[in-house]
Amino acid sequence: MSAIEMPQEWYCIRSTVGYEVRAAELMPRLSFETKLSVGEIDVFCPQIRKMMPVGGKMRAVLTPLFPGYFFAQLCLETAGRFVSSRPGIIGLVRFGDAPASVPTNVIEEMKATDFVATAELLLSSFNFVPGQKLLIREGPFAGMEAEYVSSLNDGQRALLLLEYLHRRVNVVADCTILESAA
């Protein structure tokens, strides 16, 4: 049985953080001779769109859903060592001594999920603008009005300025408990 005909499974590949997408792009680019010896390699590197500072401004940037990891479908027997020796690859994720395979249905479900659109939907619900007046709905400052300063934790939390005891103080709040005061 040639390497191309051997059974393949999905594995989680650990890579250098920041190099996941590039490593995933390069992995299936094999010469004809290499394909004959290690077999076909299919890769999947799910990504999301995050707001990140670029050039001093917050911009939407595609980043890996799992920083430092991506998935590859390969024959472990013929391609395991080859994959582990590729540039930017740390190795296959293992449980004990053996690399752990990922069930095909998990990969198919992830491929069917539009992570970019899902992340944009979550981010769009918290589109606050610096200087915007917000009402805090829950917690120790419930019912108080605050001024939005910036987002934290990928837009899930907000840094606010709050008038408290005749002073302006910084407060961090979960965006889910904030609403526009106007």
- The count of C-alpha atoms lying within 13 angstroms of the C-alpha of 38, restricted to the half-sphere facing its C-beta, is 24
At 24-53, the pLDDT tens digits run 999 888 888 888 888 889 999 998 877 677
Instruction: Fill in the amino acid letter for 142.
Output: A
Task: Work out the average pLDDT over 124-148.
Answer: 84
* C-alpha closest to that of 79 among 11, 153, 148: 11
| CATH class of the 3-124 domain in this structure | alpha beta
Segments making up each domain of the chain, as ranges: 3-124, 133-180
- Of 6 and 163, the structure prediction assigns the larger pLDDT to 163
Give the separation between CA 134 and CA 126, rounded to whole angstroms.
11
CATH match of 133-180 with 2.30.30.30: yes
Provide the percentage of residues in the chain whose pLDDT is more than 70: 87
CA nearest to 35, candidates 73, 13, 1, 2: 2
Whether this model's pTM surpasses 0.85? no
Poorest-pLDDT segment among 108-112, 122-126, 177-181: 122-126
Q: Cα–Cα distances in Å, from 156 out to 33, 123, 130, 164?
A: 49, 8, 15, 23
